[in-house]
Structure 1
């Protein structure tokens, strides 16, 4: 695939994904159950990624999916890693999940969304 076509595809994915994350962030901030909200944050990210053509494969662990996603959208790992850690804790740990973990998940989605928008603006500046 030519570089410009690949770049346009990634840009389109970033724009759509950022918009889908807006909705998820709003809903998850007010969710009454921290464990459910944290798991839902990951699920919403997966749904948004599937909508832009990056579905989770049956063989993907949260970490392997994370690596593939980062490669596809050219985002940094820090924000998505925070969400991945919170999701794994909420999904697989018997320990209580508190409001701080819920907000960590929401903050991670905000960071991913904001980074996608910065990448999009940077791409526009380079093309100008």
Structure 2
């Protein structure tokens, strides 16, 4: 949900609350009729006729009185206000989730170094798993609807593959940092992995449009990783 839409929802909510309050007080009275002097009281009362008592087969009629002419307007405004609040709540939830997952800044100038325990786990890495993941990432690029989805889908495939390797993840690492560390612990070309991660972060959390040039850069980085992993110990040539 975009920021202009959020503003529209806020305006709808405020207008609904204001209109609801105005409708509850009824119309304003601006003219006051002059008070006539009291005159002689003339009784015009008519004899009161008691209505017939209901019988066993007769259902008494209930007088509901005149319906409030503003009831439908109040109902519509309450509904619009509720919808606006629900939409605002959903947008705030997504914004908070994106804020927690996003890096601080549009693009990190320096990616974190490889953790020592990750380097020690390099001999036990499932290189074949990473090779398959890189191939799937290339397929995800070809199957994506647009450039934006292509870059994001490619990196997410690598993140899921890194989790399947069985390498322990440091509590301070994000999924993206963990995937980069797993790749760096192999013979994969570190600049290619870093370039792909930076491209993913810029596309997902940035505001600039994703171009065909970005997709080409992601595909080139994946092909370089494929070549390096094939020569890594445990990799398929």
TM superposition shift of 1:87: 0.4
- Residues 10-89 of structure 1: pairs in structure 2 closer than 5 A: 10=125, 13-54=126-167, 59-61=172-174, 64-65=177-178, 68-89=181-202
Aligned residues: 116
Matched with 1:108 is 221
Aligned-pair CA distance for 1:42 = 1.0
Map 1:4-15; keep pairs closer than 5 Å.
7=123, 9-10=124-125, 13-15=126-128
CA RMSD of aligned residues (A): 3.0
Q: Distance in 1 between matches of 2:175 and 2:122?
A: 25
Partners of 2:178 and 2:149 in 1: how far apart?
A: 21
Query: Which string of whole-angstrom CA distances, capped at 9 and with x for unpartnered residues, describes residues 51-110 of structure 1?
Result: 212476663247743652244324331110110111011011101011111221122122
**Structure with more helix by fraction:** 1
- Which residues of structure 1 form unaligned runs of 5+? none
Query: Taking structure 1 as reference, are residues 6 and 31 closer, same or farther at Cα in structure 2, changes over 3 Å only?
Result: closer
The 3-state SS of whatever aligns with 1:115 is helix
| Alignment partners' CA distance in 2, 1:62 and 1:100 | 25
TM-score by length of 1: 0.72
- Stretches of structure 2 that go unaligned for 5 or more consecutive residues are 1-120
| In structure 1, C-alpha distance between the alignment counterparts of 2:122 and 2:172, rounded to whole Å | 25
TM-score by length of structure 2 reads 0.42
Higher RCO (C-alpha 8 Å, min separation 6): 1
Contact persistence 1:28–1:41 (CA under 8 A): yes
